[in-house]
Structure 1
Amino acid sequence: MYKKKKRSWVKHLDFILLDMLAAEIALFVGVFVKFEGAIIFVSRFDHYPLYEDMAMLLPFIDLAGVLFTETYTGILRRTKYQEAISTIGHCLVNILGILLYMQAMQTTFFYSRYALAVAGVAMVIISYIFRCGWKRVIRKRMLQDVNKTSLIVVAESTTVDACLEDLAHSPYYEFKVNGVAVVDKDMTGQEIQGIPVVASADTLFEYLRTNVVDEVFLDGNTRASEETLAGRLVEQGLTVHVSLIHTDNLMPNRIMETYGHYVVLTTSMHIANNRQAFCKRLGDILGSIIGLVFVAIAFIIFAPIIKYQSKGPVFFSQTRIGKNGRKFKFYKFRTMYMDAEERKKELMEQNEISGNMFKMENDPRIIPIGKFMRKYSIDELPQFWNVLKGDMAIVGTRPPLEDEYENYALHHKARLSIKPGLTGMWQVSGRSDITDFEDVVALDTQYISNWSLMLDLKILIKTVAVVLGGKGSK
């Protein structure tokens, strides 16, 4: 699943909130300086409600200025001098908004000019400090490539230089070019402009299967079979950016975007808008905070029993495979004996699922209390920590083990095109009755292709029913 690039004002929501905070602090400073702290003692300050009303209005004045100006355009590329000019301009718009409000409400006479003047100066200084400080944090994270998507460029040898010149060297893009595939000759192992050539036309799909790749950029000057190639890549769960080609055969989920100076048509299994992505992540954060309360309660109840029945840690951690092949630490309450992983090899012949998963009824590796905990999914509760960290979502696809992932066919990777989840389509579709991994993949890709906030809500409701009934988890 692919999230659309943010619009300008949404993209800089962090700076908007910082400027709002700076304006509020500046107003407090102005009033505090003028009245020598009387603001703290409401009974000694007759006009306090006027400034309180202004404080409540300030965020809306600030936001109105943002919507009608371009104060954040190119903010990360500005010098300190340019940022100072931009900050002054932004604060002047805020002050103008305050004056217009005072005039409209006919309350100009009741406000202290001195307090507002001090507030205006403080607003410039505080906003400038906040902006410059936060830009340093962002630039540092960008240089470390934190949270950037992994992009592979596919091009011909005659056009690859021009393509990489535009896409590969700006630290401000939301993606990082980690490799290039040259399709008209085998240049694997070489470097072009410092970017490694990781594949040829013959080895491209194998590279994508075995490496962390989020998106693929197809240069529009490559061969005519590009439409077919784009379609195959999308089927594997990858997001594809196609530059200047006919798109009749592409999937219907597509949007026009700009990557560098290229106008591309982006297609993916599903494209979420910014509102949907924000609501999903907000729900994950709130849900995980509530879930961690239940983790604490479960720990108090079950930790002594786990320790009594099997010596060892209460929590079990394991490396799992997340979105597009990323590895992360996965947490559960331990429900098996300490030698469970070693004994798994002996039990593989009794695996009840054909394919790249392991499932066994009456698994002898499970401790007595573990059967109860698994029946009601209590062992899964610590994964709320993974959700809060951002490794997982509450609703998604279940993350595979490393050895399972290594045996994936290319089309299996489609189920990893979103964050893994605590629950999902497979969990609420009678997972104990599903014995073919291909059916699991089909359910997961169906979920991704048809994702919506309402579908997540339906799955959550079904999950509650499944957990309370103790169904589908043996």
Structure 2
Amino acid sequence: MFKDIVKGWTKHIDFMLLDMVCLEISFLIAYMIRNGVSSILSMPRMYENMLLILLVIDICVVFFSNSYDHIIKRGYLIEFKQIVIHNVWIVLTFIVWLFVIQQSENYSRQIILTMYPISVCIMTVARLSWKRIVRMQRKHRKEDRKLLVVTTTERAEAVVKDLFIPYRDYMIEGIVLYDQERKTGEKIIASIPVCAGKNDLITYIQNNVIDEVFIDLKDNETEVIILMNLLVNMGLTVHVNLLSNNQSLENKRIHPFGNYTVLSASMKFATPRQIVMKRIMDICGAIVGLIFTGIACIIFGPIIKKQSPGPIFFSQERVGRNGRTFKIWKFRTMYPDAEERKKELMAQNKMNGLMFKMDNDPRIFPIGHFLREKSIDELPQFWNVLKGDMSLVGTRPPTMDEYVQYEAHHRKRLAMKPGLTGMWQATGRSDITDFEEVVALDAQYIQEWTIMLDIKILWMTVMSVLKGKGAV
């Protein structure tokens, strides 16, 4: 899944809010200079209204101008110039507004004129300070999208140079030279390695964390479309250095990428608002879930220790979004040697495919059956949700053993964060025995994802657990 491009003035809502605070502070300082510090406590209603009017004017100025265009890249002098112009428009607009409502004689001109230089100074310090913080965050951000570049030997250096722009939110993981069958070890500019050729591209993606692929293969449109469809079907987001549109590709966007204009395709495009809402829902749900986890630990912890000496919690390495690994937590329901005994029981696996599930698993101690039946063993995963490794709703994360057996089309399950529950758990729960059906339901969830769908799945999951229709 790809977070859709943020366009327009809403892209820099943080700077807009910062400017609003600066304007309000500047006005209050100007008012106190004119009337004294103590006068702020008995400010007339007309000046209180002026605080609100300034905010509305600032929003209008931002909306109709390019105040924040390329703001992160702008230097100090250019930024100062933009701030001067921004504040000129605010003051002029306010003066015009006073004349329109015929109230100009009731307001102190000294306050308005004093506010201007104060606002320029405060806003300059605030913007430059915030830009420095944003730049530092981007520089050290670990969750940048991992980008794989597919191009030719002739174009490789130029493509990397054009993508290597300042303050980008993606990390170039490597280069695939598509005109070579297999080629690794060589370094392009900025120490970007050549990691694969045409024949081992899919293998490399299978074995590494890759979120997005940038394709630059001029004069080879047929090959690009085939490759694009293959990669999107693996759950990746694909950007193509602009080629003619093709109706067979769904979920397309044309937008800037580095110094290029690209055609991007993905299983699902999500808006920043949707991403934020999903994360807020995850955090709220995780906090509530951890309260229940604590209660369950007090009740069942001693029973687990008595029936099977060892730790109360069980952790295991799992594979998350686009191949990232993390440690998942559960209440322990199996004897300590469960992983070693799994190989002996593979013949009794009732799942057709790359997951393991069997009836009356002998590795589970008595209370473990109850914990699994009621899905209580899953409660510690709310910690994974709070950390951001998982979401409340997503696709169930495979084990490392399962993941290494994945075919290319299975990888689409990892296009979103894994979840406590998902489409196949809510609709079929443990009754589903065909892994390909699991993959199809997970792909359907990703393609149709909305916040309302998450809420629906959560409700269906709760009902399934309460009715005892099986465990995850």
Give the TM-score of the pair, scaled to structure 2: 0.88
Q: Which amino acid aligns with 2:155?
A: T
From 63, 80, 85, give the equivalent of 1:84.
80
Could you tell me how far 1:154 is from its partner in structure 2? Answer: 1.2
- In terms of mean alpha carbon deviation, does 184-193 or 376-385 score higher? 376-385
Task: Name the residue aligned to 1:18.
Answer: 18
Question: Which residues in structure 2 correspond to 1:96-175 (within 5 Å)?
Answer: 96-167=92-163, 169-175=164-170
Q: State how 1:304-315 maps to structure 2 within 5 Å.
A: 304-310=299-305, 315=313
The residue type paired with residue 153 of structure 1 is V
1:133-152, Cα deviation, whole Å (9 max, x unpaired): 22112222332354321111
Using a 3 Å threshold, how does the CA distance of structure 1 residues 187 and 128 change in structure 2: closer, same or farther?
A: same
The residue that corresponds to 1:408 in the other structure is 406
Which runs of 5 or more residues in structure 1 are unaligned? none
> What is the 5 A alignment of 1:447-462?
447-462=445-460
Matched letter for residue 85 of structure 1: K
Corresponding position of 2:249: 251
Residues 198-223 of structure 1 show CA distances to partners (whole Å, capped at 9, x for unaligned) of 00111111001111111111213264
Query: For 1:328, what is the secondary structure of its paired residue?
Result: strand
Cα distance in 1 for partners of 2:257, 2:125 equals 31
Q: Give the aligned partner of residue 284 of structure 2.
A: 289
Taking the aligned partners of 2:51 and 2:368, their CA distance within structure 1 comes to 55
* Cα offset, 1:445, TM superposition: 0.9
Report deviation, 1:292.
Answer: 0.9
SS in 2 for 1:428: helix
User: Taking structure 1 as reference, are residues 376 and 291 closer, same or farther at Cα in structure 2, changes over 3 Å only?
Assistant: farther
Which residue pairs with 1:207 in the alignment? 204
* 8 Å CA contact 1:250, 1:267 repeated in 2: no
Inter-CA distance 130–46: structure 2 relative to 1 (3 Å threshold): closer
Answering whether residue 466 of structure 2 is matched by residue 468 of structure 1, we say yes
CA distance in 2, matches of 1:103, 1:346: 87
Shift of 1:337: 4.8
Q: 2:442 is matched by which residue type in structure 1?
A: D
* Range that drifts further, 357-366 or 129-138: 357-366
TM-score by length of 1: 0.88
Q: Structure 1 residues 370 and 97 mapped into 2: Cα distance closer, same or farther (>3 Å)?
A: farther
Return the alpha-carbon distance in structure 2 between the equivalents of residues 388 and 319 of structure 1. 17
In the alignment, which residue of structure 2 is the partner of 1:9? 9
Q: Choose the corresponding residue for 1:53, options 43, 46, 49.
A: 49
1: CA distance, partners of 2:351 / 2:39? 69
Q: Cα gap change, 1:176/1:357 in structure 2, threshold over 3 Å: closer, same or farther?
A: same
Match of 2:354 in 1: 356
CA distance in 1, matches of 2:98, 2:292: 53
Q: Could you say if the C-alpha distance between residues 348 and 454 of structure 1 is closer, same or farther in structure 2, counting changes exceeding 3 Å?
A: same
Q: CA deviation at 1:4?
A: 2.1
The worse-fitting range, judged by mean Cα deviation, of 361-370 and 210-219 is 361-370
Provide closer, same or farther for how the CA distance between residues 320 and 117 of structure 1 changes in structure 2, counting only shifts above 3 A. Answer: farther
Separation in 1, partners of 2:365, 2:440: 32
User: Which secondary structure does the structure 1 equivalent of 2:459 belong to?
Assistant: helix
8 A contact 2:2–2:269 mirrored in 1: yes
What SS does the aligned partner of 2:449 have?
Answer: coil
- Mapped partners of 1:386, 1:63: distance in 2: 39
Cα distance change of structure 1 residues 458 and 32 upon mapping to structure 2, 3 Å threshold: same
Distance (whole Å) between structure 1 residues aligned to residue 370 and residue 53 of structure 2: 54
- Give the direction of change, closer, same or farther, for the CA distance of 1:128–1:302 in structure 2 (3 Å limit): same
Q: Deviation digits for residues 389-438 of structure 1, max 9, x if unmatched? A: 43333322112222222221111111111122222111111221111211
Please report the RMSD computed on the Cα atoms of aligned residues, expressed in angstroms: 2.8
Residues 105-114 or 180-189, more deviating = 105-114
- Paired residue for 2:171? 176
Q: Which runs of 5+ in 2 are unaligned?
A: none
* Range with bigger deviation, 125-134 or 189-198: 125-134
Q: Distance in 2 between matches of 1:246 and 1:453?
A: 33
Aligned to 2:61: 65
Post-superposition Cα deviations, 1:37-88, rounded to whole Å, max 9, x if no partner, equal 44674xxx260x3333333344332222111111111211222222222222
- List aligned pairs for 1:237-276, cutoff 5 A: 237-248=235-246, 250-272=248-270, 274=271
Structure 1 pair 137–256 and aligned structure 2 pair: CA distance change class (3 A): same
Q: Give 1:114 shift.
A: 4.3
Worse overlay, 247-256 or 227-236:
247-256
Q: Does the CA contact (< 8 Å) of 1:155 and 1:222 recur in 2?
A: no
The question of whether the paired residues in 2 share the 8 Å contact of 1:395 and 1:459 is answered with yes
Q: Which residue of 1 aligns with 2:390?
A: 392
SS in 2 for 1:76: coil
1:342-381 pair list within 5 angstroms:
342-366=340-364, 368-381=366-379
8 Å contact 1:306–1:334 — kept in the other structure? no
Q: What's the offset of the Cα at 1:22? A: 2.4
Which amino acid counterpart does residue 445 of structure 1 have in structure 2?
A
> Matches of 1:423 and 1:130 in 2, distance apart?
43
Distance apart, 1:115 and its partner CA: 4.1
- Structure 2 CA distance for partners of 1:435 and 1:99, relative to 1, 3 Å: same
Letter of the 1:299 partner, please give it.
G
**In 2 relative to 1, CA 214–106 (structure 1 residues): closer, same or farther, beyond 3 Å?**
same
* Aligned mates of 2:34, 2:368 — CA distance in 1: 66
Q: 2 CA distance for matches of 1:366 and 1:19?
A: 59
The 1-side partners of 2:194 and 2:33 are apart by 62
Q: Report the counterpart of residue 441 of structure 1 in structure 2.
A: 439
Pairs aligned (count) = 466
CA 1:62–1:318: 2 relative to 1, 3 Å: farther
> What secondary structure, in the 3-state scheme, does the structure 2 residue paired with 1:252 have?
coil
Say if 1:396 and 1:420, in contact at 8 Å, map to a contact too. yes
Q: Percent identical across equivalent pairs?
A: 43
The 1:206/1:287 distance shift into structure 2, 3 A limit, reads closer
Shift of 1:132: 1.5
The Cα shift of 1:470 comes to 2.9
Once the two structures are superposed, residues 99-151 of structure 1 have per-residue CA deviations (whole angstroms, 9 ceiling, x without a partner) of 34444444444444444445434432332222212211222233235432111
Residue aligned with 2:263, SS = strand
Deviations 1:352-411 (A, max 9, x none): 323222223344444555444433334434434433443333322112222222221111
